[in-house]
Amino acid sequence: AQKITQTQPGMFVQEKEAVTLDCTYDTSDPSYGLFWYKQPSSGEMIFLIYQGSYDQQNATEGRYSLNFQKARKSANLVISASQLGDSAMYFCAMREGVVIDKLIFGTGTRLQVFP
Amino acid sequence: DAGVIQSPRHEVTEMGQEVTLRCKPISGHNSLFWYRQTMMRGLELLIYFNNNVPIDDSGMPEDRFSAKMPNASFSTLKIQPSEPRDSAVYFCASRSPGGGGTGELFFGEGSRLTVL
């Protein structure tokens, strides 16, 4: 079974608009962490934002925010005021518990920002 | 501070040859991960080490793949013999010790392997 599901292979957004990238996860562990990474065309993986399962508030980092809905097991990334430089692949990832220490990634969403 | 350093950045080899990919994690990080990225399978975790000890190698495709971490500052991923289906980008990532912070992984720039 997929642990991390990203159902949007591709998304388009106009510059300066907001966009939401979807991510759902599956775990029975009460302690877990959710991550979003950006991969531009140059190939490097850039950490964007983190949400812990016990965090009471949604995480925010500049123009990035994470819409964390625990009951629905979703952790959507919201990018506000999109910029051309936001065009990239975006990956959602999960780390389960403390003992299981690895990060499992979703299949990614390719975001294209147009002028 | 230097990030995760991988070498080579690009490798083109012929089927049957041995390939060795190298990784230097960020100083002070005690966990190291090897991932493989392909169009078909996305980002797959191959193996990860904690304090130089392999913890989970369930993602290693088959016996042709092996990974070592002889010390805290160096790891290798070896493919012998290589096959065309091994063509991918191989990422190394490291993470600082637990006890605080988000625990995010810091990735190297990747090694792009092409097996002809």
**Cβ–Cβ < 8 Å for B93, B103:** no
Q: Taking CB atoms and an 8 Å limit, are A105 and B50 in contact across chains?
A: no
For residue B67, give how far its alpha carbon lies from the nearest alpha carbon of chain A (Å).
16
Q: What is the pLDDT of residues B75-101, one digit of tens each?
A: 999 999 999 999 999 999 998 876 455
* Helix (H), strand (E) at residue B88: strand B88-95
List the single residue in B50, B89, B102 with the smallest CB-CB distance to A50: B102
pLDDT tens digits along B35-81: 999 988 899 999 999 999 999 899 998 899 999 999 999 999 999 99
Do β-strands A19-21 and B5-7 pair in parallel, antiparallel, or remain unpaired? Answer: unpaired
